Each structure stands twice: as C-alpha cells, then as structure tokens.
Amino acid sequence: MFKILKSLSNSLGGKSAAKKQAAAAKPGSLLDKVNKGAPVAKPEAPKTPEELCGLDPKMDKDQVLAQLKLLFRRYNRSASSLDAQTRHQAEKMLDAIVQMREKHFGEI
Amino acid sequence: MAEYVGIDLGTTLSGLAYLKPDGNPEIVPNSDGERLTPSVVFFDSHEDVKLVGSAARDGGEPDRTIFQIKRYMDDPEHLVDIDGKKWTPAEISALILSKLKRDCSKICGDITEVVITVPANFNELARKSTIAAAEMAGMTVKRLVNEPTAAAVYYAHSQGVKGRVLVFDLGGGTLDTTILEVAGDQIKILTSEGARHLGGSNFDDILLEAYAEQYRKQTGTALYTDERHRRRVLQATEDAKKMLSKLQRVNDTVANDQNSGIARIDLTRVEFEAMIRHMLTRTVFLVEQAMDSVNLKPSDIDHVVLVGGSTRIPKVKQLLEKMFGKTPKSCGNVDECVALGAALFAKKSAKIQEVCNASYGTLAMIYNAKTGEEKLANSIVIPKNTPIPCSRSQVYQTSEDNERVIEVDITQGEDEDAKFIDVIGRITLEVPPNRPKGCEIAVTFSYDENQRVRALVVDKQSGRSKEVAVSYKGAGVLSPEELKRRSAHLRAMRIE
Ligand SMILES: Nc1ncnc2c1ncn2[C@@H]1O[C@H](COP(=O)(O)OP(=O)(O)O)[C@@H](O)[C@H]1O
Ligand SMILES: [Mg+2]
C-alpha cells in the first residue's frame, strides 16, 4: 500500500486556519467532506438500530461484535465533541450500539 | 511549607493531599472540617463573597450556583454570566483551587507547587485551562497527571501490588479506565480510555425522570417547573441512589413547589439497575476497548481497582467481577485515592512511564495497490499508547506536478475514516518550482513527557523543513499578562 500526500492546496486554495470554517461551508471542499458528521444518522430517514449499526443478517457473531466495537470507539469519541449536533448524533448511535449488543449477546 | 502536594480537581468533589515526612500521603481537610470539598461555587448577591463547597451546594439560588464546571474546561465558548461579569471555566475552577489552597495551607503549611490530576482523555485546551486555574489561584503546576495513573500510584504504594492493573474510575461526570504494569515502585502505563458524560450524574438524571413520571401519575402535575426545584429533587434522587448502594429498597416522598400534593416513591435496587443498564453496558464497551487496544484478555489482568464514588454501586462491582472472574479491589476510600496518589506522584514522577494519549497523523490519499482504489484517510504517524517521550516518522509522496506549497494537515484520533478525527492544525511548506509528482516528504511527530506534541515536515529533495508545536492556541487560552492580572484580582477576593 502506498501512501500519497495529496495536494490539498487545490481544494482549499491556501486558506489560513482562521478561514477554515468558511472553507468548510463551501460545498465539495475537502474539509467539508472531512468534517461532516456521519451520514448514517440523517434525520429524514429513520432507521432501525440494525441499519444504524450497519449490521447484516449474514454477519456471524464475531463480525457483529467487531462492528459494534468499532462503532463504539468512533461514537464514544464523537460524544465528547464540542459540537452539540455531533454529540446528539453520537448519543443516538451509542444507544443503538448498546441495543444491538443486548440483542445479540444478552444483557449485562 | 508542604513540599509534595496533590490536588484532585474533580467534577463533583475536589481534594488535596500532601506527603507527610514518613512518605505517606494524607488528605488535608478544608476549614469546614470536610476531607473533600464539593466542586460547587456560589456567588452571593448580598455580600461580595464566593462560597465554595458544601455551603455553595446546599444554597438555594441556581442562577448563582455553578456545578460541574469541569465538564466545560475544553469549551472555549462556555462562559458563566454573574451580574454581567463573564467567568471562564478556568476562573471558576480557580475559585475552587483558591479555597483548597487557603484552607489547607493552615494545616499543612504554605502551598506553592502542586500536581493536579486530570482525566486521561482531557484535551490540550482543558489541560491548559487547568494549569491556568492553578496559576490564578497562586500555585505553580509542577505536573499534570492523569487521574487513573494517580489512583494506581496510590494503590501500588498502599497495597504493594505487582502485575497488570486495570483501574476503573467511575465518578460523577466521567468514566476513565487505565491499564498499567506495576513492578516495585516502577509503573508503566499501557493505555487509557475515557468516556465523557458517563457517570453518577447521568444516573441521578435518569432517576429524576422516574421521579417526575411517578409524580405525574400520582398527582397529574409536573414535579418541577423551575431550576431551583429541579435541583432540590435532583439532590433527593442522588440521596436515594446512594441508599440503594446499601439497601434493596428505598421509600421517598416528593412534592412540587406548587402545593399539588405529595407522591410516594417506592424504588428497588433491581429497578434502579434496570434504569442504568444501558449506561453500564457502555462501561463494558469501554473496558473492552482499553484491553483490545493493547491486545490483552481479561485473564491477563491481575488486579481490578475501583476508583470514584459511583463504583460503590453494587452492580458496577458485579459487572467487573463477572468480566474478570475476580473480585475488584478498592484502595480504601474510593473518592480520596486520586488526590493521595497525586501527592505521591509529586515525589515519584520519574518512576512512572506514560504513553501517548492520542494518535497523531496526517490526511493522505491512500492508494491500495491490490484494488487500485484511492481514498482520503487519516494516516497515523504516532499511534496512541506509544511510550513517551517518543518520535516517529512516515514518508509520503506528493501527488501533483509543479506543486509549490505542501500543506500537511495534522490529525488527532484513531479512526482511519477522516470523518471521525479532528484536524488540529496545518503545516505549510514552500518547495522549489518545476518538480514532478512523487517527491518524498517526511512527516515526523515527537511527543514529550508533558504530553506536548511537535510536528516536523521535511522535503527530502530540497532539504527544506518546518517544525511546529502542535498545541491549542485558539480561543480560551489566556495570555501570560492576562493571567497575571486575573490572578492578582482573585487574590483580593473573599472566598469561603
Ligand atoms: N454510595 C454511593 N452510591 C452510588 N453513587 C455514589 C455513592 N457515593 C458517591 N456516589 C456518586 O459518586 C459521584 C462522585 O464521585 P467522585 O469520584 O467524587 O466524582 P468526580 O471524580 O467526578 O468528582 C457522584 O455522582 C455521587 O453521587
Ligand atoms: Mg474523580
């Protein structure tokens, strides 16, 4: 696997850190893509906890647990974000993750 | 003068300990005769005085009472408005620290230099704010130490244990878990994980909802309509919660402040455990996350140590016992061991090996030679849990012809997916013209004992380089002059 440092100057046009937010607001900019919250929790499409956690009936127990652990790490981190929206979304995801753990592995 | 002093500046309770001449740490009580001081500040409207501690907590004016300020130490926008003056979280914390310093120095002698504890996952701004708070209170911070590390230092000192220890610290506001290795008085931290907003006050909130629901059922009205009364009921739910750590069942009566009658609350431990079960499942995830990140199984852990007031909940102990197949231990008083450990740490810091609290790296297009796919990802250069001090490099290639400026985004976080990490800075390096793509750029991160990070970018062909300290410099950090000014101001204040 190669690692390539892609030129970021094209997409961001040499903006200073102070202008980061303005850059983030521009559609299609790199930071925009990076900073956007998870697409999984869009409010317009209510999803089941399974869908939120990306669980597939074909997954075996180990795969389910691995997926839940990955999501827990991810959303536990977002739960301490300074952005209230991100935090709210993370809480919803954490609830779904816990529900799925209980469903597949029983209550603690 | 007290030479080795440790302070646990907690979300709910704060404590100060010093090292006695015999080498054992001791908690120093405040002037109200309490070993621990509630981390609550009250701004009186009649007299120019700030109350800190139990008196503040039990007073009745919610608009003028500040609880749990520690939850906001990393928020540059959080300001507390009292009579038109805006207080930062660091200034509120400084009031708490001032009380500890003033009260305790009457007993243990002058306090000038201290070790203060912080949650392992406290970020740079929160750490800086903590140091600023101490300076405003007239103390120099010798070192910050992570809370679970301090607890482990005390545990190792008082119990003389050996082997791998998992510290489980469930307090009022947060959960922290740390795995470390103890050999004699040498301590090696392996990893720390934390969860914000997971602690005793979440349990109180859950109980409060249950109380309100019961009240509505029995009287048809709302249990509280204003903050003042909500606070009162919250205190009652916290008391009930604590009772349930000892009893199987508690009975309580509650009323609102509108004379709508009294409701009887009947609550069993089993019901309470069911209410907080989801929160407790999160604690299991976090403990597993800590073990997974250092490839350990429950059977690899020799001792499980309980820290924090919420570990008095029997279900918490049972959970850990089930997970590890051994009874968790507590080092005496679970709310005091962090401060006691901090006092020990003040003397022994050299014997404690810590690790990076987070991963650092850069954003890069990652090319998968197998699939031919290319995607933007977080490329980690220095992984979390690397023992510090340390330094790591990674070489990247430029992807465009004729690039004049190389921009390196500095990331913090473990996720490969760039959506779930923070971009905390950027290094810009000018390079010579007319170069094809594929030029090599080395990115090096180094990490020192104080959890300070530096990043170095070197263009291999031209030898040009740039180095920066990766630190939070944005809003919320005071200039040294401003810090001095506020510190002088605070010293003249009446704080009791
Ligand atoms: N006997 C008990 N049972 C259940 N919870 C308790 C008990 N004693 C204290 N607590 C809870 O412990 C929390 C405070 O723990 P502490 O470790 O002092 O917190 P922090 O480090 O956040 O200041 C509070 O939420 C309190 O209600
Ligand atoms: Mg604590």
Pair B164, B300: CB distance under 8 Å: yes
Q: What is the pLDDT of residue A3?
A: 66
Domain encompassing residue B437:
360-463
Best residue in B365, B401, B435, B460 for a mutation probing chain A (most A CBs within 10 Å): B365
Domain encompassing residue A55:
49-105
Q: Does a structural domain hold residue B178?
A: no
pLDDT in tens, A39-68: 455 456 688 999 999 999 999 999 999 999
Residue B422 belongs to what H/E stretch?
Answer: strand B422-430
Q: What is the pLDDT of residue A31?
A: 42
* A65 and A24 assigned to the same domain: no
CA distance B318 to chain A (A): 10
CA distances from B393 to B362, B385, B466 (A): 11, 16, 14
What tokens appear for B189 in the block? 């931290």
Q: Which ligand is nearest to the CA of B334?
A: 1
Do the strands B175-183 and B65-67 form a parallel or antiparallel pair, or are they unpaired? Answer: unpaired
B14 lines ligand 1 (CB under 6 A): no
B413 lines ligand 1 (CB under 6 A): no
Q: Does a structural domain hold residue A55?
A: yes
Q: Which DSSP symbol is given to B46?
A: S
CA angle B319, B321, B325 (to 5 degrees): 135
pLDDT per residue as tens, chain B (496 positions): 899 999 999 999 999 999 999 999 999 999 999 999 999 999 999 888 999 999 999 877 889 999 999 999 988 899 999 999 999 999 999 999 999 999 999 999 999 999 999 998 787 788 889 999 999 999 999 999 999 999 999 998 998 888 999 999 999 989 999 999 999 889 999 999 999 889 999 999 999 999 999 999 999 999 999 999 999 999 999 999 999 999 999 999 999 989 999 999 999 999 999 999 999 999 999 999 999 999 999 999 999 999 999 999 999 999 999 999 999 998 788 999 999 999 999 998 888 998 988 899 999 988 877 888 888 899 999 999 999 999 999 999 988 888 899 989 989 889 999 888 888 888 999 999 999 988 999 999 998 876 778 999 999 999 999 998 876 666 667 788 888 888 888 888 889 8
- In this structure, chain A runs to a length of 108
**B369 touches A: beta carbon within 8 Å:** yes
* A15 and A54 assigned to the same domain: no
Q: Does a structural domain hold residue A59?
A: yes
Q: Does a structural domain hold residue B141?
A: no
Q: Among positive and negative, which fits the CA dihedral B154, B158, B160, B161?
A: negative
Task: Please tell me the total count of domains within chain A.
Answer: 2
B10 lines ligand 1 (CB under 6 A): yes
Pair B303, B165: CB distance under 8 Å: yes
Cβ within 8 Å, pair B426-A1: no
CA distance B419 to chain A (A): 5
Domain end, chosen from B275, B310, B332, is at: B275
Q: Does a structural domain hold residue A94?
A: yes
Rg (CA), chain B: 25
What is residue B250's three-state secondary structure?
strand
What is residue A27's three-state secondary structure?
coil
CA distances from B259 to B256, B262, B332 (A): 6, 8, 44
CA angle A11, A14, A16 (to 5 degrees): 120
Domain end, chosen from B225, B242, B275, is at: B275
Q: Does a structural domain hold residue A64?
A: yes
For residue A82, the CA-to-ligand 2 centroid distance in Å is 21
**A5 touches B: beta carbon within 8 Å:** yes
CATH number of B395's domain: 2.60.34.10
What is the distance between the alpha carbons of residues B328 and B361, in angstroms, rounded to a whole number?
37
CA distance B33 to chain A (A): 36
Q: Does a structural domain hold residue A44?
A: no
pTM (2 d.p.): 0.89
* A20 and A60 assigned to the same domain: no
What is the distance between the alpha carbons of residues A76 and A85, in angstroms, rounded to a whole number?
14
Q: Does a structural domain hold residue B263?
A: yes
ipTM for the predicted complex: 0.89
Q: Nearest to residue B212, comparing CAs of B233, B235, B243?
A: B233
Q: Nearest to residue B162, comparing CAs of B139, B197, B188, B124?
A: B188
| Residue A14: pLDDT over 90 | no
B127 lines ligand 1 (CB under 6 A): no
Burial B455-478 (b: 16+ CB within 10 A, else e): bbbbbeeeeeeeebebbbeeebbb
What is residue A38's three-state secondary structure?
coil
Residue B223 belongs to what H/E stretch?
Answer: none
Which among B242, B272, B311, B317 is the best mutation to test ligand 1's pocket, defined by most ligand atoms within 8 Å of the CB? B242
CA distances from B198 to B174, B237, B493 (A): 5, 17, 34
Q: Which ligand is nearest to the CA of B311?
A: 1
Pair B490, B136: CB distance under 8 Å: yes
* A19 and A61 assigned to the same domain: no
**A4 touches B: beta carbon within 8 Å:** yes
CATH number of B219's domain: 3.90.640.10
Residue B446 belongs to what H/E stretch?
Answer: strand B440-447
Contacts of B322 in chain A (CB under 8 A): 108
Rg (CA), chain A: 17
Q: Establish whether the linkage from the previous residue to A57 is cis, with ω within 30° of 0.
A: no
CA distance B484 to chain A (A): 27
CB contact residues (below 8 A), chain B span 120-179, against chain A: 121
For residue B292, give the nearest of A5, A7, A69 by CB distance. Answer: A69
Cβ within 8 Å, pair A74-B289: no
CB contact residues (below 8 A), chain A span 21-80, against chain B: 30-31, 33-38, 68-69, 72-74, 76-80
B313 lines ligand 1 (CB under 6 A): yes
- Residue B241 CA: nearest ligand 1 atom is 4
For residue B12, the CA-to-ligand 1 centroid distance in Å is 7
* A21 and A62 assigned to the same domain: no
CA distances from B236 to A21, B118, B182, B464 (A): 44, 29, 41, 64
Q: Does a structural domain hold residue A54?
A: yes
CA distances from B176 to B169, B199, B326 (A): 5, 10, 20
* A59 and A94 assigned to the same domain: yes
* A56 and A93 assigned to the same domain: yes
CA distances from B114 to B36, B237, B343 (A): 17, 35, 8
Q: Does a structural domain hold residue A70?
A: yes
CA distance B76 to chain A (A): 9
Which band of pLDDT confidence, cut at 50, 70 and 90, is reported for residue A13?
very low
Domain end, chosen from B250, B275, B300, is at: B275
B238 lines ligand 1 (CB under 6 A): yes
Q: What is the pLDDT of residue B333?
A: 85
Concatenating the DSSP letter of every residue in B69-132 gives: GGGGTT-TT--EEETTEEE-HHHHHHHHHHHHHHHHHHHH----EEEEEE-TT--HHHHHHHHH
Q: Does a structural domain hold residue B188?
A: no
Q: Does a structural domain hold residue A13?
A: yes
Q: Which ligand is nearest to the CA of B306?
A: 1
B15 lines ligand 1 (CB under 6 A): no
What tokens appear for B195 in the block? 């969860």
Cβ within 8 Å, pair B426-A98: no
* A30 and A61 assigned to the same domain: no
Instruction: Return the bridge partners of B306, or none.
Output: B168, B330
Pair B72, B11: CB distance under 8 Å: no
Task: Please tell me the total count of domains within chain B.
Answer: 2
